[in-house]
Amino acid sequence: MINKHGGVCSAKGFRASGIHCGIRKNRDKKDLSLIYSEVPAAAAAVYTTNLVKGAPLTVTKQNLKNGTAQAVICNSGNANTCNSNGIEIAEGMCQLTAKALGISAKDVIVASTGVIGQPLDIAPIAAGMDELAKGLRRSGNRDAAEGIMTTDTKLKEAAVEFELDGKPCRIGGMAKGSGMIHPNMATMLVFITSDVAISPKMLRKALAGDVADTFNMISVDGDTSTNDMVSVMANGMAGNALIDAEGPAFDTFKEALNAVTVKLCRMIAADGEGATKLLECKVTGAKDVNTARTVARSVICSSLLKAAMFGADANWGRVLCAIGYSGANVDVDKIDVSFRSGAGTIEVCKHGAGVAFSEAKAKKILTKPEIEILVELNSGSAAATARGCDLTYDYVKINGDYRT
């Protein structure tokens, strides 16, 4: 499997663009993005579990009932959530996109991200649609990725190339997400494209299976957003034999999809609002996968542990504490804990009790930008990884005046 550039435009037949249309006050920030497939594509999506959902999710879910899509339209600066005319606006965005591209409005995935509860004016979107459509190009992935950013500080793109039936195939993606990230469905938006020929049913199965160990294992701040969505379109232009059942080809597709989603997950977690460090809690030796996931998520969600990591404090008791209230059925007397980074590894807990360790070495390990919290439960063979970031002063500053 080869890492590639190009994000959502890496796969054959996909073009993208992004512009500033006027939703956001800052003209230097793009606020409208478009992804287009030259041919109709199999499509699937997963959505936030929050009972308060953005109108675009409702419209997208309806549009994807037939398992087909050909374009994605997404704005930033306004979430189009909790608005009395939200559905009308979301459907209007689909209609504008369809008219500009000459496709059906039912073949459009629509998304919005930004402030909740503020009316979204469709006028700037309508005014900018011609420019957006005319700007579609194979090198437009960066503009599109910029157009969906809110408090993100970095672009988030990934792509891989692999083979099926001797044909080169690609999967690419882009994401936005920095705050309001928490399982289930890490505001997070992810758009994935592929030129693989795969049935909508198998595409849904691949995505649903992948999300459980990737996007549903991220937490930045414990807030599950109203607009989270991960969508994927696969247009079949690679020319491989259609994947319509499980088997080696489906396994290869899932592996490639996971390579892209894991990269995007790491980017989202590392770019958490105010974050200075990427945290990964790797749990091994669990009696089953659910136990491993529960423990990993609990540790990565602990505000006290996140604060300790910000201060490079090897306060391993906070790891044990988070495991203890996680609800997982574990034997505390069997738990081992270590911290690892590019500066080395240090064991801090053995069989549920502290061990002597060098505070100086621990501090050196925990000052690195990527830190692994290794938890061995010594009760089985299941494993899981959760991702997050440290909790800093800047998180409060960013969210203290996010709306104003």
pLDDT digits (tens, 9 = 90+) for 100-121: 999 999 999 999 998 888 899 9
Query: Is-catalytic flag, 404?
Result: no
- For residues 225 and 258, which has the higher predicted lDDT (pLDDT)? 258
Point out the catalytic residue in the list 187, 261, 291, 385. 187
Q: Which residue has the tokens 């959902």?
A: 53
Give the per-residue pLDDT at 171: 98
d(CA 35, CA 18): 9
34 token code pair: 């478009």
User: In percent, how much of the chain has pLDDT > 70?
Assistant: 94
Max CA pair span of the chain? 68
Q: Residue 221: is its pLDDT beyond 80?
A: no
Q: Please classify residue 203 by burial: count the beta carbons closer than 10 Å to its beta carbon, then call 0-12 exposed, 13-18 middle and 19+ buried.
A: buried
Give the per-residue pLDDT at 187: 56
Q: Residue 186: is its pLDDT beyond 50?
A: no
Delimit the CATH 3.60.70.12 region(s) of the chain.
2-270
Query: Is residue 335 within a helix (H) or strand (E), and if so which, with residue range?
Result: none
What integer best gives the mean pLDDT of the chain?
Answer: 92
From residue 186, how far is each of 189, 220, 292, 364, 388 by CA, in Å? 9, 8, 18, 30, 10
- For residues 245 and 393, which has the higher predicted lDDT (pLDDT)? 245
- pLDDT range class, residue 215, cuts 50, 70, 90: confident
In 3D, which of 255, 257, 213, 252 has the Cα closest to residue 234? 257
Q: Residue 179: is its pLDDT beyond 70?
A: no
d(CA 254, CA 248): 10
Give the per-residue pLDDT at 380: 97
- pLDDT range class, residue 26, cuts 50, 70, 90: confident
Query: Regarding the domain delimited by 2-270, which CATH topology (the fold level of the hierarchy) does it fall under?
Result: L-amino peptidase D-ALA esterase/amidase (3.60.70)
Angle between helix 303-310 and 317-324 (nearest 10): 160
pLDDT (average), residues 267-280? 85
Q: Residue 178: is its pLDDT beyond 80?
A: no
Identity (one letter) of the amino acid at 91? E
83 token code pair: 């608005």
pLDDT (average), residues 296-321? 95
Give the per-residue pLDDT at 139: 96
d(CA 18, CA 28): 12
Q: Residue 222: is its pLDDT beyond 60?
A: no
Where is average pLDDT lowest: 51-60, 70-79, 85-94, 245-254? 51-60
pLDDT (average), residues 26-31? 91
Identity (one letter) of the amino acid at 194? S
pLDDT (average), residues 136-149? 96
pLDDT digits (tens, 9 = 90+) for 32-46: 999 999 999 999 999
Query: Is residue 115 within a helix (H) or strand (E), and if so which, with residue range?
Result: none
Helix (H, G, I), strand (E, B) or coil at 370: strand
d(CA 188, CA 215): 9
Give the per-residue pLDDT at 220: 62
Q: Residue 180: is its pLDDT beyond 60?
A: no
CB 150 within 8 A of CB 162: no
Measure the N-to-C terminal CA separation of the chain; round to a whole number of Å: 45
Give the per-residue pLDDT at 182: 52
- pLDDT range class, residue 185, cuts 50, 70, 90: very low
Q: Which CATH number fits domain 278-400: 3.10.20.340, 3.40.50.300, 3.30.310.10, 3.60.150.10?
A: 3.10.20.340
CA dihedral 189, 153, 294, 260 (to 10 degrees): 60
Query: Is residue 403 within a helix (H) or strand (E), and if so which, with residue range?
Result: none
From residue 104, how far is each of 14, 289, 398 by CA, in Å? 17, 42, 40
191 token code pair: 């758009």
Give the per-residue pLDDT at 188: 80
Delimit the CATH 3.10.20.340 region(s) of the chain.
278-400
pLDDT (average), residues 168-191? 75
CB 63 within 8 A of CB 108: yes
From residue 80, how far is each of 59, 84, 87, 205, 244 by CA, in Å? 12, 10, 9, 29, 36
In 3D, which of 183, 153, 169 has the Cα closest to residue 249? 169
d(CA 34, CA 15): 8
d(CA 286, CA 329): 10
- The count of residues in the chain is 404
